Structures are given as structure tokens and as C-alpha cells.
Structure 1
Amino acid sequence: MDTHQAEGPAIRVQGLEKSYKDLRVLRGVDFEVARGGIFALLGSNGAGKTTVVRILSTLLKADAGTARVNGFDVAGQAAGVRESISLTGQFAAVDEILSGRENLVLVARLRHLKAPGTVADDLLRRFSLTEAGSRRAATYSGGMRRRLDIAMSLIGNPPVVFLDEPTSGLDPEARIEVWQAVEELAEGGTTVLLTTQYLDEAERLADRIAILHGGRIIVNGTLAELRRLLPPAEVEYVEKQPSLEDVFFAVVGADSQGREARANEK
């Protein structure tokens, strides 16, 4: 199966719904992700970001709606989806007993790749881990461990990579290290869907940003397009463009007020 020849958007989501008993997590989510570049799904804790990623990676079934990844339907063509993607969760999935290089070689062998040692060395070099490659992963800093985790996810060159809150719990220096690794992914032509609750992360990395709130996508666009949702502020006669933080709280607050008003009418 050729997972690199599909046409159209890398990801297409239409009317996605998911509930856990009486809790409606997704209420009709719609978005598309173009091939290449970085798409950020931004939202608070509990907004449903991880649920979306789990559905797109075939780990969870939606209650309603459709989703296609690299041209494959997540419900009916799960094998094609799995061959097209890599998923990095909120916690680094590295074997701390093994060295960084041994972790990479192990995954390359599991994927039946030729010359797994060469694959490992190339990735160590790409993610600036060559000097640490022979050290046990248990000795790595948080940023190094995250970079190794992302490197492992690239073995086999998947066209689509899901990064679910990749910098959660990391210190500022480690976050910057991961950001640089993510930017390199996009430069290499990989499509990245990034979930995050950090406004500065979405502002730094994403080509397009969708804000997930109340189970729906309430805005979706480039940073420039989102900024145009709010008028610029003037500080001492100097025009100040709204930040992504200003946009986020304005649209989330407006949506929350609207839902409260509708609830009071019932």
C-alpha cells in the first residue's frame, strides 16, 4: 500500500461527534489540514483535543461524522491510516534502559527497515543528539527525551505526524528545543497536527490555528486572520496589533456568554 500518493488535504474532518455517557466532548467538529506545514488545534484542558487526535489515529471511534487522513477513511480504512501516520503523545515513550541510538535502532527493526543503524545515526544527527546517542535515555533532559521521542516517530517517513501537547510539563529551554524540532519537520515536508493549550506555542509554530471550545471549532485561520477578528489597540498613540491571547479569550468568552444566554432562555 502506497501511503505517500494520496491527493487532497492531508486531513479532512466533518461533523465529528463524541460523547462519554452524558458528557458531549465533540459536538460537530469540522476542519481541514493542507499537506505540509503545521496546523495547531488550540484549546483549554478538557476541550477535546486529545479525543480528536485519538479518533484520527484510529484509537477511538467517533459517534458521528467522518474523518480522512492521507486520503484514508479512519473508520473503514484504518490500516491505511496507521501506515500513514505517527503519533507522539503527551509523555515521551522512550525506553530509559536503552541508549538513544538503541531506541531508534529498535523501532527501525520493528518496522523492518534496511540498515537500521544508518537510520538511527541520521535521526540522531537531524535532532542534534549525536553526542548523546550512546547514553542511556534515562540520563536525558526533558527536551532531549522529547526530541528523541519525535525522532522515533519519524522512522519510516510517515507523511502525517500527530503531536499531542508535545511540550506539556517542559521547562522554557526544553520547549524551545522541541519547537525547533517541530519546525524542522515542517521544513522537511511532513504534515504536522499539533494540539496545545499554550497560546505562544501556537503563535510561534502554526501556519493555521483552530480554536476548539465547547466541543466545536469556533475560529479557524492564519494568525493574521485571527488577529483581524479584533481591532488593534492604541497605546500612547502607537497602534498595537492584538495577540493570539487577546483573540483566544475574546472568542472563547463571547462563545461562553452566548451559550449562557441561550441556556437562560430555555
Structure 2
Amino acid sequence: MDRLTQAVRQQLGLGRLLPLGGAADGAWITEHAAVGALRRAASAALPGARLGTVRLGLADPATAVPAAVPAPPSALPAGPLRLTADFAATVDEPLPAVAGRLRAALWSAGAETLGLDLDAVDLRATALLDGPEAVGSTEAMTAPERQADAESGAEAGTESGAEAGTESGAEAGTEDDGSAARVVRAVPGVARLAPVLGGPAHAVRTRDRTDEEPGRHTQVQIAVTEGRCALDVTAAVREAVAVATADGAPGPVTVAVVVTAVDPVGRAAR
């Protein structure tokens, strides 16, 4: 597979860039990372159910507002989100009860653990399973995101050039800001630098803006540790990076943070 094709498939596998919090929060999470975290939360809360296709998008695009900082390319504006998902469950419990528990688990994981501004969680039962063995046998079919992982290397923790490029880019004089990268790593809840947008060597990219709109802007791409509120982690990263990059700035300093992965607890940091 040539590099261009692989890059395109990786970007498609990431899904949309979803806003974390509101317009003032300057943070996003890839749909791929969000869905992975939601899927794990649902599996832990309801072992007898399996999520199928999961999608997240703006509940009402007409009410969305631009972010207060320069947004990454293709990032959605800030606004309430709607989560839609299919699920399969065993016959041990009435489907309405399963749906209610699943909705509560997804809402908690999305709003409280990730920091998504959820407006609705819509679920549709698509299959009945005979027992635990059937639940396990359908896991691959009910996780369509995993096919994109296998083909693009977008899964958090794969041994792709993205993670390797994080270190080499900062040292080789690319647009990465090495001092800011060190600050980012020190923020509690940051599992690692995790660049997937704009090339593998740009986990922390700082640039001075134009004369017409003076200022300095930094974009950071990170993986957060599962169990830490992603929105809180991005807020701490923005504050730390703003201080680290303010010296000599030609105008206002802004920071945007993109969460590209949510690393399960116990995953070895690199």
C-alpha cells in the first residue's frame, strides 16, 4: 500500500473530530478514540450486550458555534452531540431494560469521563444473542472500527511511525516544539504524545500567525489515560502549553488540543 493511500485510509479511520466541552475549551477528540472508550465502558457495564455501529455528530448543526481558538482542519464546531448506536443483547433481560442501562453507561462515559456535550443517546436493538458464547462470537462483527484499525494502523498503541516520529520530529528541527512537548508529557492524565493528524512528526506544533492577525498558536495531539476526564486533561494541557509558549509571542497565545487515543489503564507508556 503506497504512503498516500495509507494516509488517506488512516484519516478516514479516525472519523470526525468531535468537540470536547464548549467553544471556549479549544479541545477535540477523534471519533475513533471516543467510540473505543465508549465501547469499553459499555462492555464493562453490560457484559451481556455488544455495541454495533456507533456514531457521534452534532445534534443540531444550525446551533453550533466556532471554537474560540483556531480549530484543526475538518474539526466540528462546538455544539451538543447526538450519539446513535446499534446493539445486540442476550434474552436474559428485557430489551428496554438493557437499553436503559446501556444508555446510562454511554451517557456517563461520554459526558463525565470524556467531556462530550451529549444532547441525546439513541439506541436500536438489532439482534438477540443466545448466551455469553454468542456475545463473544459477535464481538468482531459489532466493532466495525477495528477493521479501519487493522488497515490504517490508527489504533492507539500500534507500532506505527506516528509514535516514533514524535521524538525524532522534536529533535530534528521540524515544526514540533520540543520544550512544549516536555511540558505536555508532565501533565497528569497525559498517557503519551500521539500524533496522527498532519503527519507523524507533529505531536506539538507551534507557529506564529499572520501580521493581519498576530499571535502564536500551538496544536497538541495526545493520548489520555482511561479513567481521567479527557476534557479536564486537555484544559490542563492548554494552560501549561500557553505558559510555555508565551515568551516572545507576537500577540495572543492560543492552544488547541486533540485527543487521538484513550489508553486503557495498564498500557505501557512509550
- State the TM-score, normalized to the length of structure 2: 0.30
TM-score (norm 1): 0.30
- Structure with the larger RCO, 1 or 2 (CA within 8 Å, 6+ apart): 1
